[in-house]
């Protein structure tokens, strides 16, 4: 058993060396495991119509390195728990929770690959996660965010709608600066999306407050 593990490890190490850097090895695993049958990884956004969006079997990953936190990604790829309560692109069927799983070694390679895919449209250092009652009011009452997204209150009680991705655990999953970019640049990441645009309703400072609030969700 131990010898098997060691030789498997050497095999992988050799592969990684041959295809060095780690990015290329992860890219190879991504293709080998058929991930690219549901996710595209080259930007900018490729959707040219609603039909393109609806034809997709999974979310685009071309800006994954700007969107996700590395430790979350590495863990999720090995044990993927549903993020969207509903099946992708559906408002009637539940998410079956059947996302493919990766081994620890493959997940590490794919994480390196995905974290290397970044977007110049995400400015670093703008948003610091923060709970502010004013932001909570915008999220829960002034804007309809809660109607589509699950979120936790200060005590950790979860409420909210099912049509958008759950924002529970956003502090561990999402880059705060990406949240702000996603909210303020309404077509860069998802040219055709089910989420309304709020950039025209909220001032830049309120949008930053809101992004910081979402980024603080436990």
Binding span for ligand HEC by CB under 6 A among 1-9, 11-19, 116-124, 177-185: 177-185
Comparing CA positions, the residue from 112, 109, 115 lying closest to residue 29 is 109
Is 215 a binder of ligand HEC (CB under 6 A)? no
Residue closer to ligand HEC, measured from CB, 185 or 193: 193
> Please, what is the minimum distance in Å from the beta carbon of residue 111 to ligand HEC?
9
Please select the residue that binds ligand HEC; options are 65, 109, 152, 165, rule is CB under 6 A: 165
Contact 74, 111 (CB under 8 A): yes
The region that residue 169 occupies, defined by phi over 0 for left and psi between -120 and 50 for alpha, beta otherwise, is left
Please select the residue that binds ligand HEC; options are 72, 143, 171, 186, rule is CB under 6 A: 143
Binding span for ligand HEC by CB under 6 A among 11-19, 123-131, 152-160, 189-197: 189-197
> Please, what is the minimum distance in Å from the beta carbon of residue 24 to ligand HEC?
15
Contact 165, 190 (CB under 8 A): no
Binding span for ligand HEC by CB under 6 A among 43-51, 115-123, 128-136, 138-146: 138-146
Contacts of 188 (CB under 8 A, 6+ apart): 44, 45, 119, 121, 181
Residue closer to ligand HEC, measured from CB, 37 or 157: 37
Contact 95, 84 (CB under 8 A): yes
Q: Binding marks (x or -) toward ligand HEC, 63..102, rule CB under 6 A?
A: -x------------x----xxx---x------x---xx-x
Contact 69, 172 (CB under 8 A): yes
* Distance (Å) of CA 203 to CA 99, 107, 131, 178, 208: 38, 40, 18, 18, 9
Region 36-65 residues binding ligand HEC, contact defined as CB under 6 A = 37-39, 57-59, 61, 64
Is 194 a binder of ligand HEC (CB under 6 A)? yes
Please select the residue that binds ligand HEC; options are 103, 140, 163, 171, rule is CB under 6 A: 163
Does the N-terminal peptide bond of residue 181 adopt cis geometry, omega within 30 degrees of 0? no
Residue closer to ligand HEC, measured from CB, 11 or 144: 144
CA 84/CA 149 separation, integer angstroms = 9
> Please, what is the minimum distance in Å from the beta carbon of residue 99 to ligand HEC?
5
């Amino acid at each position: 058993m131990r010898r098997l593990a060691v030789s498997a490890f050497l095999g992988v190490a050799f592969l990684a060396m041959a295809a060095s850097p780690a990015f290329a090895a992860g890219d190879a695993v991504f293709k080998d495991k058929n991930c690219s049958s549901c996710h595209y990884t080259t930007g900018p956004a490729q959707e040219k119509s609603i039909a393109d969006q609806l034809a997709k079997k999974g979310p685009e990953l071309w800006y994954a390195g700007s969107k996700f936190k590395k430790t979350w990604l590495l863990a999720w790829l090995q044990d993927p728990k549903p993020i969207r309560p509903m099946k992708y692109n559906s408002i009637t069927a539940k998410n079956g929770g059947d996302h493919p799983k990766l081994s620890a070694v493959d997940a590490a390679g794919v994480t390196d690959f995905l974290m290397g895919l970044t977007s110049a449209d995400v400015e670093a250092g703008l948003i610091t996660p923060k709970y502010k009652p004013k932001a909570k009011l915008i999220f829960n009452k002034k804007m309809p965010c809660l109607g589509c997204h699950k979120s936790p209150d200060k005590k950790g009680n979860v409420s909210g709608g099912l049509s958008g991705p759950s924002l529970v655990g956003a502090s561990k999953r999402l880059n705060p600066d990406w949240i702000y970019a996603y909210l303020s640049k309404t077509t860069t990441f998802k040219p055709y999306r089910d989420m309304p645009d709020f950039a025209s309703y909220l001032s830049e400072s309120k949008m930053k407050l809101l992004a910081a609030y979402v980024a603080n969700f436990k």
